Structure 1
């Protein structure tokens, strides 16, 4: 499916419905890693409608190492007013600790890039915590450009 997966002994593939409980656990681990609020208890059910409806709002790819999910990436299509063009927002990219640095992150990022290309999106955009030096180095090596912004959220 993706290059270099044979070397890793697994694959990166689109998530399937049966993956959702594990994806929800990976999301919880990701939130804890980023020092964020815990994910909702019903996250798997919430993700089901977003990822597997007739018109999905988001897409999820999983890193599958011999039937064990060790990472995931999620993305959604967005619109840039300044560019007057669609872009793909990479919401999450997470690999479990024992498998970081093995190449899974690059394979997940490549899957997201191919999705952007399939939608005709001009680019992929995302953010990472400023303290996550490993992620910043990874994204720099992947050729990404950083932009200095402060991220806000407003509860409604």
Structure 2
């Protein structure tokens, strides 16, 4: 069985993320979507909420599981017999960063990394930009599912 992991912060999950996961599921038998926590990125959704959003968005995709994790991706992959990480690449900046990570992961445990180029319509979309647009009241619906857009608006609504 060919197994892969798609790690990320997914805060919020974008249509670009969902595209990479869908394409990964077409290549691998089993995909673990790993929702990590990056203390250097100010989050909108808690990791458990991101897991819920992804589970809902990916419910019809066979062979895909969503998990929250902390720590090193290489450790998770070793513990779960996953030999490949799949990362979406939007451009040169992503490639430079992800190539360094891929090389270190391979040196540490032999974990392979497969890069999938972003579809052109998603190449400029990032979770941080979607968060910024949403926080400033702009239109971001075209970058996320309707359910994720609704939950994002709910999250940003003033408390009463």
**Shorter-chain TM-score above 0.5:** no
Higher strand fraction: Structure 1 or Structure 2?
A: 1
TM-score, scaled relative to structure 1: 0.32
TM-score, scaled relative to structure 2: 0.31
Higher RCO (Cα < 8 Å, 6 or more apart): 2
